Each structure stands twice: as structure tokens, then as C-alpha cells.
Amino acid sequence: MDQIDYPARSVWEPRQKFFDDIFDFEPRGGAYVIGEQASGLLIDLQAIYCVGAFISVIIIACTVVDAHLREAELDPKFKGGIAKAFETSEYSVDLDWLRRRRNELVHFTDRRPLPISVDEQWSNRQTHEAEANRAIQLVANVLFENPWV
């Protein structure tokens, strides 16, 4: 499983470029306000993506968006949960997917099949990578949703 081995430069660099390209705000125009917590978590998001920890990408991506919305977009008096926070974005449908997927991965219940296992890590690697890519694109979309200027 490549995510538990030291990544080869030939694997890391294309992932890093993918990430950097998505978060390049210059082509988007304008200026953006992104909170300190969201920015700090974004660094970990890039690191875990580049190493190939795609399940962790889903979990952290959800957290980055939640932090960003609360720090930079929502009224300071906002008291809703993550679902309500996500409803405020034009990307609410995709954010609901992200929230539900994150919850499925984080919250164990014996009433449904396991959403992740060692076998899943091996056999569904391409699906996990596609979900990670979708989550990263979604994070960028939300962070750059409302230009400051």
C-alpha cells in the first residue's frame, strides 16, 4: 500500500502540482479572506494528499471548509452545526456529500458495512483518490467562493 511507504518523488510532485494549481488564486482574480485555522489545516491537507492518505483527506477537507466558513464567511453569532454552516454555500449539495462521507468514515456503527478497512484501502485505492480529488477541489471552490474585492 503506497500510502504507508515513503512516497517516490515521481508520485509526490504531480500530487503537489495538482494541489498547488487548484489553490492558485491568481487565475481566479480578486482577493480572498481565509481564516488562520483554515489556512493552518490546509497545510496538513496538502501533506496528507501528497503522501496518499486519501481517507484522511476527506476528513480534513471537511474540517477546513467548516473552519473557513465560521472564520471568514458566517456571522460571528452563528451557532449552527456543520450541516447548517454548509447550507450557506452555493456548493451546499457537494458539501453535503463531503459531510456525509466524512461522517460515514469517522462514526462507527455495526448497523452498516464498514466504510473503510485494510482491504478497502487496498482494493478501492482509485475510488479513494477520486474522492480526495473531489474534496480538494471542493475546498478550493468554497475558499474562493466570495472574493473580498
pLDDT digits 0-9 by tens, 84-117: 999 999 999 999 999 999 999 999 888 878 888 8
CB atoms < 10 A from the CB of 96, how many? 13
19 CB-contact burial (10 Å; exposed 0-12 / middle 13-18 / buried 19+): buried
Residue 111 lies inside a defined structural domain of this protein: yes
If we measure between CA atoms, which residue out of 2, 113, 138 comes closest to residue 60?
138
Residue 69 lies inside a defined structural domain of this protein: yes
DSSP H helix total and E strand total for the chain: 7, 0
Residue 70 lies inside a defined structural domain of this protein: yes
Residue 148 lies inside a defined structural domain of this protein: no
Q: How far apart are the first and last CA of the chain?
A: 45
CB atoms < 10 A from the CB of 84, how many? 12
Residue 49 lies inside a defined structural domain of this protein: yes
Residue 33 lies inside a defined structural domain of this protein: yes
Residue 104 lies inside a defined structural domain of this protein: yes
Q: How many domains does the chain have?
A: 1
pLDDT at site 51: 94
Report how far residue 49's alpha carbon sits from residue 129's, in angstroms, rounded to the nearest whole number.
9
Domain span at residue 60 reads 2-143
Handedness of CA 111, 113, 114, 115 (dihedral sign): negative
Question: Cell triple for residue 46?
Answer: 496538502
**Digitized pLDDT (tens) for each residue of the chain, 149 residues in all:** 566 677 889 999 999 999 999 999 888 887 899 999 999 999 999 999 999 999 999 999 999 999 999 999 999 999 999 999 999 999 999 999 999 999 999 998 888 788 888 888 888 999 999 999 999 999 999 999 998 86
Report how far residue 131's alpha carbon sits from residue 101's, in angstroms, rounded to the nearest whole number.
9
pLDDT at site 1: 55
Asked if residue 69 lies in contact with residue 88, where contact means CB atoms within 8 angstroms, the answer is yes
pLDDT at site 29: 81
pLDDT at site 117: 82
Residue 149 lies inside a defined structural domain of this protein: no
